[in-house]
Amino acid sequence: MSCTISFIFPHPIDSPAGGYKVVYEYANRLVADGHKVNIVYSGS
């Protein structure tokens, strides 16, 4: 069963660090498992 998962960040960053990095790692693993992942930035 495939799911669509969305992560919402408050603003974009120049290089992944901290919580952002963890979310990117989770997103990559979820995509590898066949899920669709959206990463959304709420502001600039």
Number of domains in the chain: 1
CA separation for the pair 8, 40 (Å, rounded): 5
**pLDDT band for position 12 (50/70/90)?**
confident
Segment 3-22 shows an average pLDDT of 90
What range does the domain containing 37 cover?
A: 4-41
Residue 9: how many other CB atoms lie within 10 Å:
14
Q: What pLDDT is stored for residue 42 in this prediction?
A: 87
Look up the pTM and report it.
0.80
